[in-house]
């Protein structure tokens, strides 16, 4: 649920022409939001982190970076369309 809020905030950052590092901040927030519960399991069983989960984590982080960049770009496009 917080993921859409993060994407909207990154879009707003693009709209107000904030620095592009907000994309990284948004991607980090999306990644933590999605994996917070899964990473909490590592306290109980350190062996819960497998190569498969690591691959999913990296692929998800790259996808989150793309989603945050898309949101930022859409914000900048809306800024360009505004009178």
Could you tell me the residue ranges of all domains in the chain? 2-81
Give the confidence band of 68 by pLDDT, cuts at 50, 70, 90.
very high
Top-confidence residue, 52 or 13: 13
Token digits for 1?
Answer: 């649920």
**Cα–Cα distance measured from residue 77 to residue 14, given in angstroms and rounded to the nearest whole number:** 8
Residue 42: DSSP 8-state? G
- In this prediction, residue 35 carries a pLDDT of 83
**Cα–Cα distance measured from residue 68 to residue 26, given in angstroms and rounded to the nearest whole number:** 6
Residue 45: DSSP 8-state? -
Top-confidence residue, 42 or 72: 72
Identify whether the C-beta of residue 68 lies closer than 8 Å to the C-beta of residue 32: no
Give the confidence band of 62 by pLDDT, cuts at 50, 70, 90.
very high
């Amino acid at each position: 649920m917080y993921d859409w809020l993060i994407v909207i905030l990154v879009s707003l950052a693009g709209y107000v022409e904030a620095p592009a590092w907000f994309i990284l901040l948004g991607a980090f927030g999306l990644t933590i939001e999605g994996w917070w519960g899964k990473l909490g399991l590592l306290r109980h069983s350190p062996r819960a982190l497998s190569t498969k989960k690591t691959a999913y984590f990296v692929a998800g982080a790259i996808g989150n970076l793309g989603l945050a960049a898309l949101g930022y770009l859409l914000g900048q496009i809306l800024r360009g369309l505004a009178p």
